[in-house]
Structure formats: structure tokens, C-alpha cells
């Protein structure tokens, strides 16, 4: 019954979303309303104040060094007065001072403002479930008084006068912003300069900038993996939360379209943009989503949805009478035909081990599923229908000065060449894909293993990426994180969280942290010459 209600609500919401528009320029953004009514703000504040974080066992490493702590552990240390908010925030700022010259995870670091807010938390002037927790905010979220550039010359001088709803909710929860996370230009590729020169590196291989850290939420992921913030928020249109999480040993959660407001986020593709957390484990991701999710009068997609579940409760492992980890409810995990055939070498071995670990958890069952014959067509060829939607908000700027789009210009121009009839055919294909997923692929499963994020990004369905082990890289054996991806039914993020919570309760991949980079006597750890993505590479990556 719950699944059917969720399905009906999702179909209604996706139908309405196609008719909506979004601010796409700094001129329009500056004029947009900042927030809902006073009553709405008060209701939001009450709801967030009522969120209770669980007591957790704090590991010895986290007690010795607060930057090792998960968000849940850091909150526990704060509640027990083991550390102050000022000490917690300072520790993360100091790591950034020391190492961000290597990582280049941040586009801006308002350190003084972060310390002032931490002191306010210590004095009891700022409260909430996230009080004193240092976070990274991707640089396409509006942050009042702090530049929001989306890593593009188009927005290089833009300082918002109000906060994105997502960041506003986190602030209401007491969070502290320690930096704006570097990103792919206008949320396209991994983080680079507008000319394609690579900036942010993978925290696990900081000496090798050629190792993909995932994008476009590169900085938010690297800052968390490198212990320069407890958690972060990113955006996803084509894998930009899940892929950085998989490549940097994090847990990334992309919720259902509408679960989190997009108001105050520089757009890429309106019907595919999502906001979600990049966190150290599934409990942290659940805590972040519990705060982020909610109704926003400024984003109609957030309205009229099924009631928000208790994501935090879903992330707490369940034990049977014998003390064994078990699923919170019976869940069928769909394994697509040929799933393992898409992997080779170490990745194949790790994916095989992950399947075995999931199958061994009581209550979880692996089931075979088959894709429809037209799957590749619907998720491949017709994926290009998103390109005009990306281009449309920036048409005036493309006409005025196309050089401002830098090395990614081709990907923006491509949207001009899709005809109206092709776009309409693409919309029909999208609805066909939605029917295939809901009525065929997921007819016999509750969650679905995936080798690509594209189908569920097209449809706005929830996904979660989580670590399953390590492979070899240029830095040596067991230094390259490997992850996997689960997709879920509309508004059933809680079921995805339950599965990953059970898995992380019987594995420890998510507890591992990368070694600090060797500064080698370099000033502020500044790296040497960085590789550069060509226009052809960017066009291929964003096609």
C-alpha cells in the first residue's frame, strides 16, 4: 500500500515538474524570493529542532582526533562535552590550512565566520541537531554574503543575498560552513578551472591528479574524505553525488526528485537536478537527509509528497536474538542479468564479495532481474534529451559571450541542435523508461543494483552509493576505493538506507581513511603542474 501511494505521488510530481521553470541567471536569482512565510520558517525550525540523534559508540581514533569522527560521533563528542564546537571546527580548519594546497577541495573558506559561529554554539546561542558540525557546501548553493560561483566566470562576481533552502535548513540545524566545495564548471565534469586544468584531486591518491575523484561534486567529496569537514552536500544530475562517493570511499545519497528543495541552487538540468549528502557512512547520510528533506513553498516539487520517513531510525542496524545483524524488513535486491560481467579484475572480485555479504544478511534476498530489450536505447540515445534543458537558461549568455563557458562550451552548444520533435520523442521515451522501471525491472525487487546512474537520474528516482573495498592505484595496493550503487522506488530512501546500514554493520570499508599527503617541503603543499581536460574530453564526458 505504501509503495502504491508513493508511486502515485511520484507520477503526479514528475508530470508537474515538466511545466516548471527555474532561475538560471544571476539577474533573476537576485530578484527571487528568499524564503517562505514566517509561519513556514517557524514550522521548519520546530521540525528540525525535534530531530534527535542517536547515541553511538565513539571509536578511539575519533576520541584522539576529532577530524576522524563521523558526523554522528562528532555530535556525540559535543553532547558529552568531550570537545567544544570551537575545537571541532578549528581542527578541521587547521587540516585545510595544512593540506588543501594539495587537495584543492575548496573554492572559498570563510574561516572567521565559521569560528564565530562555533563560538556561538559553545555559548548556547545556536542550537540544533547539527550544532557545531563543520560542513562543506558545494559552490552552486546560494550562500548569503559568500560568493557562489558554480566554478564559472559567468558567476565569478555573484554574491547571493539569501541562502539556498538546503543550506538554510542545515543552518537552522546549527551546522557550520567551513568552506564552499570546488566543483566542475557549472556542474559538468570533475573539478577543473574553466580552461580544463584539473584542480581538486582524489583524497586517496593526492599525488596523482590523473586519478578521477568523481564529479561534479568533487570538492565536497574530497573535503570529507580528507577530513577537512564532517560531511557535505552536493548536487546530482548525472552521477555527481554517487560517483564521487564511490571513488572516495564515502556514502552518497541522491534522494527522490522533490525530497529536497532545489531553491537557490544554480541549475544544470531542472528535471534532473537533485540535492543530497556525501557522508562518511550511511548514518551520517541519513542524519543529513533528515534535516535537508522537507516542504518548501519556493519549490513546488517538494509539496504534496508522502510523509517523510525516519531516515535516522532506518540507518540503525537491527540485531536478532542471537546478536546477528539482520535487515529491518525483508528486502529483495535486484541483480540485473549480466551485472557482474560489466566488471573485471579487482573490481569484479569486490563486487562478487559484496553480493555474497549482502546475501548472507538475514532478511536480504538477491533476485535476478532482466532489462527490457529497449533499455540501451532508452538510457543511452534518448539521454541526450536533457541537453536543450541545460542550454535554455543560458541562451542569452551563449549569444553574448560563448568564451565564458570555457572548455565545456561544446556541451552547452549541443543543446541548440535538438529539434522540437526530437525533444518530444525524448519525453515519450522517458515515460516509457519510467513504465519499464516501475512495472518490469522492479516488479520483483525492492531495490536494484546498478552499473550506471543514468536511468535513475533520468527518472528522478533515489540512489545510494557506498564503499565495498579497495583496488590498486598508482599509490599502491588497496588505495583506490571501489563502490557500488543501489536504486530504489519513489520516496523509498529509507529502504535503501536500511540495506546499506545492514551491510556497513558487517563490513568496515567505510571506516577507513586515506593517509595524509606527503607535503615534501612544498609551500602549503602546492602540487606541481596539473593535467588538463581538452574540449573533446569534456564533450565526451558530458555527452
Cα–Cα distance measured from residue 384 to residue 454, given in angstroms and rounded to the nearest whole number: 11
223 catalytic per annotation: no
Three cell numbers at 520? 615534501
Catalytic choice (216, 217, 261, 314)? 216
HSE at residue 509, side-chain half, CA atoms within 13 A, is 31
Q: What crossing angle do the helices spanning 38-49 and 165-172 adopt, rounded to 10°? A: 50
Spatial neighbors of 75 by CB under 8 A, at least 6 apart, are: 53, 129, 130, 133, 287
308 catalytic per annotation: no
Annotate 210-249 with three-state secondary structure. Answer: CCCCCCCCHHHHHHHHCCCCCEEEEEECCCCCHHHHHHCC
Reading phi first (left if > 0) and then psi (alpha if -120 to 50, else beta), residue 487 is in beta
Cα–Cα distance measured from residue 282 to residue 499, given in angstroms and rounded to the nearest whole number: 10
Of 72, 467, 508, 498, the residue nearest 326 (C-alpha): 498
- 224, 225, 228, 233: CA torsion to nearest 10: -10
Structural contact between residues 139 and 150, judged by C-beta atoms closer than 8 angstroms: yes
3-state secondary structure of 326: strand
473 catalytic per annotation: no
**Contacts by residues 90-97 (CB-CB < 8 Å, ≥ 24 positions apart):** 90/115, 90/118, 91/65, 91/66, 91/67, 92/66, 92/67, 92/134, 92/178, 92/227, 92/228, 92/229, 92/230, 93/134, 93/178, 95/67, 95/226, 95/227, 95/228, 96/178, 96/179, 96/223, 96/228
Q: How far is CA 226 from CA 121, 218, 335, in A?
A: 24, 12, 33
* DSSP letter for each residue of 149-183: -TTSGGGTT---SS--HHHHHHHHTT-EEEEEEP-
Q: How far is CA 517 from CA 36, 302, 344, in A?
A: 45, 42, 29
Q: CA 122: distance to chain centroid? A: 29
Cα–Cα distance measured from residue 116 to residue 93, given in angstroms and rounded to the nearest whole number: 13
Catalytic choice (138, 180, 254, 318)? 138
Three cell numbers at 66? 576529532
Strands (E), 237-324: 251-254, 274-279, 318-319
Structural contact between residues 221 and 248, judged by C-beta atoms closer than 8 angstroms: yes
Q: Which residues are catalytic?
A: 138, 216, 240
Amino acid at each position: 500500500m505504501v509503495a502504491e501511494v508513493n508511486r502515485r505521488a511520484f507520477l503526479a510530481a514528475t508530470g508537474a515538474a515538466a511545466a516548471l521553470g527555474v532561475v538560471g541567471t544571476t539577474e533573476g536569482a537576485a530578484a527571487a524570493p528568499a524564503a517562505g512565510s514566517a509561519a513556514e520558517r517557524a514550522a521548519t525550525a520546530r521540525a528540525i529542532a525535534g530531530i534527535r540523534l542517536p547515541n553511538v559508540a565513539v571509536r578511539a581514533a575519533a576520541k584522539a582526533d576529532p577530524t576522524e569522527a563521523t558526523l554522528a560521533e562528532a555530535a556525540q563528542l559535543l553532547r558529552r562535552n568531550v570537545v567544544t564546537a570551537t575545537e571541532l571546527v578549528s581542527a578541521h580548519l587547521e587540516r585545510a590550512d595544512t593540506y588543501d594546497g594539495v587537495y584543492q577541495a575548496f573554492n572559498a573558506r570563510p574561516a572567521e565566520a565559521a569560528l564565530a559561529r562555533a563560538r556561538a554554539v559553545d555559548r548556547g546561542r545556536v542550537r540544533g541537531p547539527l550544532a557545531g558540525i563543520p560542513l562543506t557546501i558545494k559552490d552552486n548553493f546560494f550562500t548569503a554574503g559568500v560568493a557562489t560561483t558554480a566554478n564559472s566566470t559567468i558567476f565569478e562576481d555573484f554574491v547571493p543575498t539569501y541562502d539556498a533552502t538546503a543550506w538554510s535548513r542545515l543552518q537552522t540545524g546549527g551546522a557550520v560552513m567551513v568552506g564552499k566545495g570546488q566543483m566542475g564548471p557549472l556542474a559538468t565534469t570533475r573539478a577543473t578551472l574553466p580552461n580544463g586544468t584539473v584542480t581538486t584531486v582524489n583524497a586517496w591518491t593526492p599525488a596523482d591528479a590523473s586519478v578521477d575523484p568523481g564529479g561534479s561534486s568533487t570538492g565536497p567529496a574530497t573535503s570529507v574524505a580528507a577530513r577537512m569537514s564532517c560531511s557535505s552536500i552536493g548536487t546530482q544530475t548525472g552521477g555527481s553525488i554517487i560517483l564521487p562517493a564511490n571513488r572516495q570511499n564515502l556514502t552518497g545519497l541522491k534522494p527522490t526528485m522533490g525530497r529536497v528543495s532545489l531553491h537557490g541552487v544554480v541549475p544544470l538540468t531542472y528535471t534532473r537536478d537533485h540535492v543530497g549528502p556525501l557522508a562518511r557512512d550511511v548514518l551520517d547520510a541519513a542524519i543529513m537527509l533528515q534535516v535537508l528533506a522537507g516542504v518548501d513553498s519556493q519549490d513546488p516539487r517538494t509539496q504534496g509528497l508522502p510523509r517523510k520517513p525516519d531516515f535516522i531510525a532506518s540507518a540503525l542496524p537491527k540485531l536478532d536474538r542471537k546478536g546477528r545483524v539482520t535487515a529491518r524488513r525483508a528486502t529483495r535486491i535486484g541483480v540485473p542479468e549480466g551485472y557482474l560481467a560489466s566488471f573485471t579484475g579487482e573490481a569484479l572480485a569486490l563486487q562478487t564479495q559484496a553480493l555474497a555479504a549482502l546475501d548472507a544478511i538475514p532478511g536480504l534476498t538477491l533476485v535476478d532481474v532482466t532489462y527490457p530489450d529497449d533499455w540501451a536505447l532508452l538510457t543511452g540515445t534518448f539521454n541526450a534529451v536533457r541537453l536543450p534543458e541545460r542550454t535554455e537558461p543560458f541562451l542569452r549568455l551563449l549569444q553574448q559571450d560563448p568564451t565564458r563557458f570555457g572548455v565545456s562550451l561544446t556541451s552547452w552548444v549541443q543543446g541548440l541542435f535538438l529539434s522540437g520533435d526530437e525533444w518530444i520523442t525524448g519525453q515519450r521515451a522517458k515515460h516509457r523508461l519510467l513504465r519499464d522501471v516501475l512495472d518490469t525491472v522492479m516488479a520483483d525487487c525492492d531495490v536494484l543494483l546498478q552499473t550506471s546512474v543514468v536511468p535513475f537520474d533520468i527518472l528522478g528516482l533515489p540512489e545510494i552509493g557506498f564503499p565495498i573495498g579497495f583496488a590498486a592505484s598508482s599509490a599502491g595496493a588497496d588505495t583506490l576505493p571501489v563502490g557500488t550503487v543501489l536504486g530504489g522506488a519513489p520516496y523509498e530512501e529509507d529502504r535503501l538506507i536500511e540495506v546499506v546500514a545492514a551491510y556497513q554493520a558487517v563490513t568496515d570499508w567505510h571506516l577507513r581513511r586515506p593517509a595524509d599527503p606527503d607535503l615534501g617541503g612544498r609551500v602549503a603543499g602546492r602540487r606541481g603542474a596539473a593535467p588538463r581536460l581538452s574540449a573533446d574530453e569534456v564533450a565526451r564526458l558530458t555527452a
